[in-house]
């Protein structure tokens, strides 16, 4: 095993190390998980719920430690410290929803197309699910897929990002407290080659990460003819209409764009504001943006933390530089600050941007708010839809009806009306699809999410006479 150093985002220095798994390590872990999986599946959803309820208690007892580890990995702020509680919500939600999802797949009735045939449904889990997860929200994005896969009856092999391994190590201390679970849920550490090794072993893959890596993952899965579910990047727009309440709109846009330093797949990354209110909107937004505090002196304080992955700061700086070189104006922020080794960027409002700039086309993944004025709603819709991505979009208008009318014309899987950042509201509702490059495969949210890990079989019983090849009327007399 090779050793990989792990950087602390607050100091820029290595303060942790992981042993990168070899191909043999991955194969061995995969074989052990496969060997344990049949018993896990045979428990039925009720049996698995009983085990998962014990895990929920173990997570509850360590929720604060999990939050600390997440904060160490990512650089802190409120979003990290609540990760233990979010994990509890995830497991607890599936304790209620998994039995219902299984029940919805039951079928036992005489066939409507061949009335003498009884049709029964059976669901069978994919034995081994591989989960490959990114460094932003490292715990939540690993468990969004792993938890429903476990409830479905699969074993799970997780490959977290090498950038943020600490919280996964802490989480697995809770997994080991539940021996039946520990037999079917394991992880391997390492970089992209370890991710590829996981693809080489698994029966289906859930990947969350960037478009270029997602493409490599999809190609490796295609080579093995296994399904893959990709949750990729975004360039999510927000439209603010002339009738919008300025205070509401600026507050929602600021939070949607800079929460977690903008390192959220569904961050607001482009803002289109009606020309009539553009200047007033910018003035109010800049005033609020300047009040956002860094957490450099206290990981629990402030509003935004450092870049979790230091090199991400260079990508963000490149987008700002490109925009300025092409005529954009920085209204506030704009400079990467190095504080005690951590790399920070204050909320950065840019005006005079165009779609020729990287900051309006490529995922920035930083606390930037590029704003463009539009003249009529058709233009705003055209600009918002002028993207290769389509994860989420927001509309803030004078009233809900106006916002909904515009939202229905936008191409994205989640449309937030009269606010931004509402993804959590649909967690337990129904699955939605990503548009364009933002994703591929079945939804990861709602009951459909669990269905990704199940193959459905039909058992067809002939309860009448068998058909005679010389007198075959069973499909109707179409001769």
Residues belonging to the active site = 231, 265
Greatest alpha-carbon span in the chain? 86
- Nearest-approach distance from CB 16 to ligand NDP, in angstroms: 14
Binding of ligand NDP by 140 (CB under 6 A): no
- Nearest-approach distance from CB 137 to ligand NDP, in angstroms: 6
Q: Using the rule CB under 6 A, which residue among 11, 57, 183, 196 binds ligand NDP?
A: 196
Binding of ligand NDP by 131 (CB under 6 A): no
Confirm if 26 and 197 have CB atoms less than 8 A apart.
yes
d(CA 83, CA 144): 12
Given the DSSP bridges, would you call strands 236-240 and 268-274 parallel, antiparallel or unpaired?
A: parallel
Supply the Cα-derived Rg of the chain in whole angstroms. Answer: 25
Binding of ligand NDP by 361 (CB under 6 A): no
- Nearest-approach distance from CB 117 to ligand NDP, in angstroms: 42
Q: Which stretch binds ligand NDP (CB under 6 A): 161-169, 327-335, 396-404, 463-471?
A: 161-169
d(CA 171, CA 63): 9
Q: Write each residue from 235 to 274 as x if it is in contact with ligand NDP (CB under 6 A), else as -, in one continuous string.
A: ------------------------------x---------
Given the DSSP bridges, would you call strands 439-440 and 228-231 parallel, antiparallel or unpaired?
A: antiparallel
Binding of ligand NDP by 195 (CB under 6 A): yes
- How many residues sit in the footprint of ligand NDP (CB under 6 A)? 30
Binding of ligand NDP by 208 (CB under 6 A): yes
- Nearest-approach distance from CB 462 to ligand NDP, in angstroms: 46
Taking residue 48's Cβ as centre, other Cβ atoms within 10 Å add up to: 23
Binding of ligand NDP by 156 (CB under 6 A): no
Q: Using the rule CB under 6 A, which residue among 6, 66, 125, 132 binds ligand NDP?
A: 132
Q: Which strands form 128-132's sheet, in the order they lie side by side?
A: 185-187, 155-159, 128-132, 204-208, 228-231, 439-440
Taking residue 134's Cβ as centre, other Cβ atoms within 10 Å add up to: 24
Instruction: Indicate the residue among 210 and 354 with the shorter CB distance to ligand NDP.
Output: 210
- Nearest-approach distance from CB 365 to ligand NDP, in angstroms: 6
d(CA 454, CA 184): 16
DSSP one-letter string for 363-400: ---SSEEEEEEESSHHHHHHHHT-SS--SEEEEE-SSH
Q: Write each residue from 287 to 326 as x if it is in contact with ligand NDP (CB under 6 A), else as -, in one continuous string.
A: ----------------------------------------
37 CB-contact burial (10 Å; exposed 0-12 / middle 13-18 / buried 19+): buried
Q: Using the rule CB under 6 A, which residue among 135, 281, 344, 435 binds ligand NDP?
A: 135
d(CA 368, CA 312): 13
- Nearest-approach distance from CB 202 to ligand NDP, in angstroms: 11
Which backbone phi and psi does 76 adopt, to 5 degrees?
100, -160
d(CA 92, CA 84): 12
Q: Which strands form 414-417's sheet, in the order they lie side by side?
A: 329-332, 348-351, 368-374, 268-274, 236-240, 392-396, 414-417
Instruction: Indicate the residue among 80 and 133 with the shorter CB distance to ligand NDP.
Output: 133
d(CA 423, CA 425): 5
Q: Using the rule CB under 6 A, which residue among 57, 183, 213, 361 binds ligand NDP?
A: 213
Binding of ligand NDP by 216 (CB under 6 A): yes
Q: Using the rule CB under 6 A, which residue among 147, 391, 396, 412 binds ligand NDP?
A: 391
Binding of ligand NDP by 21 (CB under 6 A): no
Q: Using the rule CB under 6 A, which residue among 133, 154, 394, 420 binds ligand NDP?
A: 133
Instruction: Indicate the residue among 141 and 332 with the shorter CB distance to ligand NDP.
Output: 141
Instruction: Indicate the residue among 45 and 450 with the shorter CB distance to ligand NDP.
Output: 450
Residue 180 CB-half CA count within 13 A: 19
Binding of ligand NDP by 22 (CB under 6 A): no
Q: Using the rule CB under 6 A, which residue among 127, 134, 148, 347 binds ligand NDP?
A: 134
Binding of ligand NDP by 231 (CB under 6 A): yes
Q: Using the rule CB under 6 A, which residue among 9, 148, 233, 256 binds ligand NDP?
A: 233
Distance of CA 155 to the CA centre of its chain: 20
Residue 162 CB-half CA count within 13 A: 18
Binding site for ligand NDP (CB under 6 A): 132-136, 141, 159, 161-163, 191-192, 195-196, 208-210, 213, 216-217, 231-234, 265, 363, 365, 391, 438-439
């Amino acid at each position: 095993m090779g050793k990989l150093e792990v950087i602390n985002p607050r100091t820029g220095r290595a303060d942790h190390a992981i042993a990168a798994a070899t191909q043999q390590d991955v194969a061995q872990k995969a074989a052990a998980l496969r060997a344990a999986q049949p018993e896990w599946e045979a428990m039925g959803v009720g049996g698995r719920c009983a085990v998962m309820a014990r895990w929920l208690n173990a997570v509850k007892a360590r929720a604060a430690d999990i939050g600390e580890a997440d904060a160490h990995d990512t650089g802190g702020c409120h979003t990290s410290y609540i990760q233990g509680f979010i994990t509890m919500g995830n497991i607890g939600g599936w304790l209620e929803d998994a039995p219902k999802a299984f029940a919805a797949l039951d079928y036992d009735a005489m066939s409507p197309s061949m009335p003498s045939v009884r049709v029964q449904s059976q669901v069978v889990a994919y034995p081994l699910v591989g989960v490959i997860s990114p460094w932003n929200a490292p715990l939540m994005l690993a468990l969004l897929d792993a938890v429903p896969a476990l409830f479905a009856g699969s074993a799970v092999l997780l490959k977290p990002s090498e950038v943020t391994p600490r919280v996964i190590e802490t989480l697995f201390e809770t997994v080991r407290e539940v021996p039946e679970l520990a037999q079917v849920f394991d992880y391997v550490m390492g970089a992209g080659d370890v991710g590829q090794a996981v693809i080489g072993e698994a029966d289906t893959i859930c990947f969350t990460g960037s478009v270029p890596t997602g493409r490599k993952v999809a190609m490796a899965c295609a080579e093995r003819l296994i399904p893959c579910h990709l949750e990729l990047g975004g360039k999510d727009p927000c439209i603010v209409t002339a009738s919008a309440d300025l205070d509401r709109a600026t507050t929602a846009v600021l939070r949607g764009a800079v929460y977690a330093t903008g390192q959220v797949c569904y961050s607001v990354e482009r803002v289109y504001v009606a020309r009539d209110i553009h200047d007033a909107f910018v003035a109010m937004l800049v005033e609020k943006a300047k009040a956002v505090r860094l957490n450099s002196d206290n990981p629990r304080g402030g509003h935004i933390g450092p870049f979790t992955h230091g090199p991400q700061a260079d990508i963000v700086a490149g987008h700002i530089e490109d925009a300025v070189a092409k005529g954009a104006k920085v209204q506030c922020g704009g400079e990467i600050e190095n504080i005690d080794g951590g790399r920070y960027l204050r909320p950065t409002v840019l005006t005079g941007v165009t779609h020729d700039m990287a900051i309006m086309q490529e995922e920035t993944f930083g606390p930037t708010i590029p704003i463009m004025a539009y003249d009529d709603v058709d233009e705003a819709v055209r600009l918002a839809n002028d993207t290769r991505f389509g994860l989420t979009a927001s509309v803030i208008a004078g009233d809900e009806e106006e916002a909904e009318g515009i939202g229905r014309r936008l191409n994205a899987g989640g449309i937030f009306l009269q606010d931004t950042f509402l993804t959590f509201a649909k967690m337990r509702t129904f699955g939605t699809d990503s548009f364009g490059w933002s994703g591929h495969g079945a939804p990861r949210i709602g009951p459909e999410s669990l269905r990704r890990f199940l193959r459905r079989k039909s058992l067809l019983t002939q309860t009448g006479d068998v058909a005679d090849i010389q007198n075959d009327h069973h499909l109707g007399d179409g001769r």
